[in-house]
């Protein structure tokens, strides 16, 4: 990809470590089926590089957006939660703009937390780009939001007739893992990067052979994001039945074996939030989360309630989304 013409946010200004230390902030009142939204907002509030930026209020000082701006909304929300003396607040800053975050969101309706997360990050990215329309694609990747949350996958297709390889790159906001054949996140990641055969209907058009050929396709993480979100796919294909099994996940994850340069130094991530869906079906149930506050302690956040809990409890949940933050290494 061509180098960016403009750097919207200098990468060295992204602070991965908390700039202030405190115990957990306020809980969030449920405003009518808003647990999907409350749990996602709490996970975002305890995302260190995003929270550091929003707490600095740098965005709103420079924002010229007229009307709806998701970054201004998130900045207001995160500052309220972390600075409030009340035990819980009402998340109106976000609930009142639900249909601006995603047209399909209806007030009072239960929604999918992962969908809400994607729409929220995308609305924040749009806000970061406002005032800089007609930017080249590389420059659009230099917003603070993009640099925190977005990674790239490489899909490498190898023709089984002539061995020519072709690479494709795709941005990702979360790594979606199939858990049907895996009992742990690391096993699911191993399956994720395992080469898959393309044949029959899925044959590949090889430009060198100039015909449809059988091929092998392998996926790897090509650019590792600062914040890695992992989604454990709990909806069974076709039936949409919920897969309720326990899947183990580590507090510290080395992503290196699943990257395009699998042989390098460890690429370590620390768990800082776990979003849980409880209930027997994907279409109903309840969301809550566990997050690590800037004091290093874990809290269970279930709508308005916020309670201290230990790491063993955090690691034994029927997780839906896992949030990991890159651990700084000495040469970073
Ligand atoms: Zn703004
Ligand atoms: Zn070929």
Going along the chain from its start, the domains and CATH numbers come out as: 21-326 (3.90.70.10)
By DSSP bridging, strand 88-89 and strand 27-28 are parallel
Of the pLDDT bands very low, low, confident and very high (cuts 50, 70, 90), residue 330 is: low
pLDDT of residue 241: 80
pLDDT digits (tens, 9 = 90+) for 79-102: 999 999 999 999 999 999 999 999
Q: In this model, does residue 31 exceed pLDDT 90?
A: yes
Instruction: List the shell of residues around ion ligand 2, using CB closer than 5 Å.
Output: 159, 161-162, 164, 206, 208-209
159 is catalytic: no
Residue 175 contacts residue 169 (beta carbons within 8 Å) = no
Integer Cα distance of 207 and 185 in angstroms: 36
Of the pLDDT bands very low, low, confident and very high (cuts 50, 70, 90), residue 141 is: very high
Of the pLDDT bands very low, low, confident and very high (cuts 50, 70, 90), residue 153 is: very high
35 is catalytic: yes
Q: How far is the CA of 234 from the centre of ligand 1 (A)?
A: 35
pLDDT of residue 202: 87
By DSSP bridging, strand 196-198 and strand 215-223 are antiparallel
Which position among 15, 223, 270, 286 bears the catalytic label? 286
pLDDT digits (tens, 9 = 90+) for 169-184: 999 999 999 998 899 9
Of the pLDDT bands very low, low, confident and very high (cuts 50, 70, 90), residue 238 is: low
The pTM for the full model equals 0.95
């Amino acid at each position: 990809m061509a180098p960016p013409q403009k750097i919207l946010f200098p990468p060295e200004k992204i602070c991965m470590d908390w700039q202030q230390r405190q115990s957990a902030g306020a809980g969030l009142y449920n405003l009518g089926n808003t647990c999907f939204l409350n749990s996602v907002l709490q996970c975002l509030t305890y995302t260190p590089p995003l929270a550091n930026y929003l707490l600095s209020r740098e965005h709103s000082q420079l924002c010229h957006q007229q009307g709806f701006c998701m970054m201004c909304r998130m900045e207001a929300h995160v500052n309220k939660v972390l600075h409030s003396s009340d035990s819980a607040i009402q998340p109106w800053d976000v609930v009142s703009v639900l249909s601006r975050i995603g047209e399909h969101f209806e007030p009072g309706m239960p929604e999918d937390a992962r969908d809400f997360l994607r729409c929220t990050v995308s609305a924040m990215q749009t806000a970061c780009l406002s005032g800089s329309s007609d930017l080249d694609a590389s420059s659009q990747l230099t917003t603070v939001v993009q640099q925190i949350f977005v990674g790239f996958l490489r899909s490498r297709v190898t023709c089984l007739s002539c061995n020519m390889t072709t690479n494709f790159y795709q941005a990702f906001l979360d790594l979606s893992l199939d858990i049907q054949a895996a009992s742990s996140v690391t096993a699911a990641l191993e399956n994720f990067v395992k080469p898959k055969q393309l044949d029959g209907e899925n044959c590949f058009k090889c430009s060198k052979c100039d015909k449809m050929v059988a091929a092998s396709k392998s996926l790897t993480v090509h650019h590792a994001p600062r914040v890695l979100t992992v989604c454990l796919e709990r909806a069974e294909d076709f039936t949409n039945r919920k897969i309720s099994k326990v899947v183990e996940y580590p507090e510290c994850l080395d992503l290196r074996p699943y990257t395009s340069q699998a042989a390098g130094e460890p690429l370590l991530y620390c768990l800082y939030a776990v979003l849980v869906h409880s209930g027997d079906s994907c279409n109903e149930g309840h969301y809550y989360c566990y997050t690590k506050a800037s004091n290093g302690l874990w809290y269970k956040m279930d709508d308005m309630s916020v309670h201290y809990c230990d790491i063993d409890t955090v690691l034994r949940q029927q997780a839906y989304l896992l949030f990991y933050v890159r651990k700084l290494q000495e040469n970073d």
